[in-house]
Amino acid sequence: MSRILVAEDDPHILRLISMWLKRQGHDVLEARHGLAARDLLQAEPVDVLISDINMPGLDGLELIEAVVPAGLVRRGVVVLTNRWDHGEIRTRLAAWGVHVLPKPFSPSRLSELIESLTSSDVTEPQA
């Protein structure tokens, strides 16, 4: 079981991701925008951050820049994004070692990704 924060401004998609992850036995925190996500992470780090890119206030890229270097995400970040800006996002996020899944996300691929991020022996926080 991993502790996962989901940051997503669409409440239905947020609920869907959260439901899917809880069903896999994870401990899930929900945030409706980047600022809320940052506050939650500052209160307590998580294993995996799943984030949307386009969010009001603090967007996904700003959120990642704020929390990943601070070591608030222990295992890895998965970005869910719309396909149209997929290529550009991938390049911009490559430096952080962030995984990108297009929306609509494949539930099984999301599970596999989280499994691979959390089952590895790497224990130090992401750089």
Partner 1 sequence: MSLHESAAPDQYLLRELMDGLSLPGRASGLSLGIVGSATYPPLPPGECLRTCLDGDPGEVASRGCPFLAGAARNNIDLKHLRDGRCPKDYQVAAQHTILGGEPAVLITVEGKPETRGATGNLPARAPRGAAEAELLGHLDTAARLVQSVGLLLEENQGFANEVLQNYEQLNLIFDLTQQISQVTDVQAIERLLLQRVARLLVSECVYLLTSTYGSAGASPSQYGSAGASPSPNECRAYAAGGDTQGPKPVPPISPDEVKAAADFVRRTRQVHVRLVGDQHVIAGPLVRLDDKVDVMLAVRRASQGVFYSGDMMLIESVLAFGGQIISNTELHERLRRMSLEVTRAMVSAIDKKDHYTSGHSERVGFLTRLTAAELGISSAEQQNMGWSGLLHDVGKIGIPEEILCKPGKLTAEEFEVIKQHPRMGYEILKPIASMGVILDGILHHHEYPDGSGYPAGLAGEAIPLVARIIHVADTFDALTSTRSYRRAFGIEQALEIIREDQGTRIDAEVAEAFFQALAAYRRDAPDDFAARFARVNVAAGPRTGRPSEREVEHANP
- Residue (19 or 94) nearer to partner 1, CB: 19
- Residue (61 or 89) nearer to partner 1, CB: 89
For 55, list phi and psi in degrees, rounded to 5.
-140, 150
CB of 83 to partner 1, least distance (A): 9
CB of 1 to partner 1, least distance (A): 14
Distance between CA atoms of residues 10 and 91, nearest Å: 25
- Residue (91 or 106) nearer to partner 1, CB: 106
CB of 122 to partner 1, least distance (A): 27
Q: Does 16 bind partner 1 (CB under 8 A)?
A: yes
Q: Which 90-109 residues touch partner 1, going by CB under 8 A?
A: 104-109
- Say if residues 78 and 48 touch (Cβ distance below 8 Å): yes
Binding part of the chain for partner 1, among 11-19, 42-50, 53-61, 92-100 by CB under 8 A, reads: 11-19
* Residue among 70, 49, 103 nearest 31 (CA): 49
**DSSP H stretches of helix in 1-127:** 11-23, 34-43, 60-67, 86-94, 107-119
Q: How far is CA 74 from the centre of its chain?
A: 11
Catalog residues that contact partner 1 under the rule CB under 8 A: 15-16, 19-20, 22, 104-109
